[in-house]
Structure 1
Amino acid sequence: MTDTHRVPLVLIGGLATEAARLLADRFHAADRHTAVVHHDLRDIAAGFVSRHLRCGPREALTTVALAHGCASCTLRDDLLPLLRELAGRPEVNRIVVRLDEALEPEPICRALGEVLVDGRPVSTDVEVEAVVTAIDVATWLGDATGEDTMAERGCDGDDRTVAQVALAQAEFADILAVSGDATDAWSAAKTGAVLERIAPLAAILELSAIDPLALSGFVSGEAYRGRPRDPHAALLRGAPPLHTDCGVTIVPFASARPFHPHRLHDALEILLDGVVRTRGRAWVAGRPDITLWIESAGGGLGIGHAGGWLDAPEGPAWAEVSPERRTLASLRWHPVFGDRAQELVIVADAADPATITEALEHALLTDEEIAERGTVITGRHKTG
């Protein structure tokens, strides 16, 4: 199947489950050739999920046993083959997947291109037309800045915070479908200010204004359209507003110096108070070959492994990475540190930007510490 024959795929998700359901229903009603799939995870504790499929006038409800006790594995093992099967039906010209509220769209999109089904990825059969996240303006900001876990919201065994899920769903969206009424005009304005800064590539539309038959007209040319994000790509994409609005502002932080591990630990505490979101790359003295990915959401903080630096002995070759990453590395290349650099983007609300910047700068190694730590930078420098 060639690219020109791939079936358009729309993912609809978000914590606003009723709004997501209404939007999926609208897609089904607008075109009888649209197949709509939904996996209901409410019975996951009992060891199964329910799959609802509507295709034309027919509906089917199927019980899917959990694979390895893992909901994401079950969805991967059931959803991906189903998408291929639906794409092969002559009566289907679009597929809509309504995601459970606990699901983030980006891992599913990554699986479309990376997980092989019968020897090839499902992305050879379907093409993501848009990722739509339903936002309830009455509750979204509280969810995105709170400390509740998904387990506390009824998702047994899920230790992610609600904020992590809410922000991940919004950031990766091509369209933010907003509905509901905020408690007051200030809350509505603040919610809009946050969304504009964490999802600058997304179109923010009233749910009622979204026309399923003209969906592509709402999606920006810069939108992700299901393409997974590269942790080494530019962090400020889509020209988000840099001015302060309703107390919400973007605080960029960059430095070529390494972080002191203990002082960084102390500095990260500041990202949990009055900060909506933090995303970015970091490197720590003593671990010069590893790119750390730092991400905060409301009251939750995560630090992960984002691979090696280009300058690291076991890092990727220049030819193996994207042109964007090569360009960014060339622009910031340091004669000693190579492409290693601290790059964080913080969306602050109640926090003081100057205090955030000061705390992160204090966590950097000083000239004296760099001179003392002759082994901070080890390994070869690769320039091509």
Structure 2
Amino acid sequence: MTQNLRVPLTLLSGLSPGLGRRLADTLRAGGPGTAVVHHDLRQVTSGVVRRRLWLDRRDELIALELAHGCVSCTLREDLLPLVRRLAGTPGVRRIVVWLDEAMEPEPVSWALRHVLVGDRPVIEDVDLEAVVTVVDRDTWFDAATGDDVLAERGLAASPDDERTLAQVALSQVEFADVVVLGGDLDTDTGDGTDAWRAARTAAVLDRVAPAAARLDLTDLDAETVRAAVPANARRGEVTDQHGPLLLGEPPLHPDCGIALLTFTAQRPFHPQRLHEAIDVLLDGVVRTRGRAWVASQPDVAFWIESAGGGLGIGHAGPWLAAPDGPAWDEVSAERRTLASLRWHPVFGDRAQELVVVTHTATPEEIDAALTGALLTDAELAAGPEAWRDYPDPFGEWHADPCAGSDGDPDRRDVNVRNGKDESR
């Protein structure tokens, strides 16, 4: 199917169902033939999903019974086939997929491109023109810096869903091409927005989603949303964990207590000291993302990611310099460029590269803790044979039950901590 025959598709995400509905209605009013699809996952753990479809005067609500209640089976068994049918329906000019508040747009984008429906992916029928996330300035900052898991808020997307509210809040805005800001629709005093909380929210967004356009929900129309999508927007493209950690140009100076730290080093972490130091990323930190080199496992890159009071560590595949590493022509141009810029004559592309956004913690204390976890000069001189014998708390890896089907097939998490050290 040629590019110009594909139906434009917008993914809409956000933690606030009220603001999401308001923005979905705005996009639906953008012209006749706009179909809006929404899956309500509040009963998904019981195997029931409520799907609503709006198309011109049509308003259809049905309950779906799924054999395995989870986001992945909702995508595979209903959403993807439905999007394909809508794309082939005469009169449908645009499709808006309004995601349940517990859903992240990145795995949905991955599924559109990689999950086969019949003999081909759905992306051949639609043109993903924008990912839009709506943010409630009254509540988003607390969600993004807290340690509540989704299940505690009644938002679990499967029986095994252990994600935190912060993880979802941050992943939704980080993947967005456009962020739409609104206030609490349930208050009786204007939009109810506290100026200080709104300012801190804006400061976090400046640092975790600097490339996204920013709009206000007030008096917004569909054409304004479409026009705001940056020319270089990712439009749902999923990048690997060896790509750039900073998209756009985030401010480097602190604002409203929000600061950005980029930690880099070309010597490995001691596994035991890293395990002890990692808790510094759980207190007063909004977000951590990045790659790490651990001395006891020199051939694999670690992926470290924190959101609010939760943290996970996983494998991000081999380094280019590893014996079983990928060939240069098998990786992205961005990864080749980054590797070339930091290539070490002995260690190759192995390096530490973490981006940390803080709110009550200081960049200085985090930098000091991570620096203290690096090998000393004497340990570095002992060489890789000695490093492999270090006690390694990261030695036993297990797969997340939903990994692979949620759009990140190679990622494996271990030692996930929420609010305090719960590792074994």
TM-score by length of 1: 0.95
- 2:169 equivalent in structure 1: 166
The Cα offsets for residues 28-49 of structure 1, whole Å up to 9 and x where unpaired, read as 2231210110001122233110
Classify 1:46/1:69 alpha carbon distance in 2 versus 1 (closer, same or farther; 3 Å): closer
Alignment of 1:165-244 (within 5 A): 165-180=168-183, 181=191, 184-244=194-254
Match of 1:153 in 2: 153
For the pair 1:363 / 2:366, whether they are aligned, the reply is no
Measured after TM superposition, the shift of residue 91 of structure 1 is: 0.6
Measure the CA separation in 1 of the matches of 2:337 and 2:307. Answer: 29
2:318 corresponds to: 308
Deviations 1:297-344 (A, max 9, x none): 110001122111111122211111111110110111011111111100
CA deviations over 1:205-255 (Å, ceiling 9, x no partner): 111253213433101123221111321111122001111111111100001
Alignment of 1:143 with 2:143, yes or no, is: yes
**1:287/1:376 contact within 8 Å kept:** no
**1:50-199 correspondence runs (5 A):** 50-156=50-156, 157=159, 158-180=161-183, 181=191, 184-199=194-209
Please state whether the residue corresponding to 2:207 is helix, strand or coil.
Answer: helix
Task: Check the 8 A contact 1:137/1:182 in 2, yes or no.
Answer: no
Residue-pair matches, total: 378
Specify whether residues 28 and 115 from structure 1 end up closer, same or farther in structure 2 by C-alpha distance, changes over 3 A only.
Answer: same
CA distance in 2, matches of 1:219, 1:332: 33
* 1:374 Cα deviation after fit: 3.3
Match of 1:24 in 2: 24
- Contact persistence 2:46–2:69 (CA under 8 A): no
Given residue 79 of structure 1, which amino acid in structure 2 is its aligned partner? Answer: L
For residues 321 and 67 of structure 1, do their structure 2 counterparts lie closer, same or farther at Cα, with a shift above 3 Å needed?
farther
Paired letter, 2:166: A
Q: Please, which runs of 5 or more residues in structure 2 have no aligned partner?
A: 184-190, 389-424
The correspondence of residues 255-294 of structure 1 with structure 2, limited to 5 A, is 255-294=265-304
Give, in angstroms, the shift of residue 99 of structure 1. 0.5
Amino acid at match of 1:252: T
Q: In the aligned structure 1, how far is the partner of 2:384 from the partner of 2:225?
A: 56
Q: Aligned partners of 2:178 and 2:386: how far apart in 1?
A: 44
Corresponding residue for residue 381 of structure 1 = none
Q: TM-score, normalised by structure 2?
A: 0.86
Kept in 1: contact 2:45–2:70 (CA 8 A):
no
Please give the root-mean-square deviation of Cα atoms over the aligned residues, in Å.
1.5
Task: Indicate the SS of the match to 1:288.
Answer: coil
Partner AA of 2:108 in structure 1: I
8 Å Cα contact 2:138-2:194 kept in structure 1: no
Report the residue type matching 2:82 in the other structure.
L
Query: Residue 330 of structure 2 corresponds to which residue in structure 1?
Result: 320
CA separation of 1:227 and 1:376: change in aligned 2, threshold 3 A: farther
1:29 & 1:223 partners in 2: Cα distance? 24
Shift, 1:148, TM fit:
0.9
For 1:274 and 1:83, the matched residues in 2 are separated by: 41
Residue aligning to 2:12: 12
Q: State the AA in 1 paired with 2:175.
A: F
- Deviation digits for residues 332-366 of structure 1 (CA, Å, limit 9, x no counterpart): 10111111111000001111111111111110111
Which amino acid in 1 is paired with 2:126?
V
CA contact (8 A) 1:276 1:347 kept: yes
Counterpart-to-counterpart distance in 2, 1:134 and 1:20: 6
Gap change, CA 1:209 and 1:175, over 3 Å in 2: farther
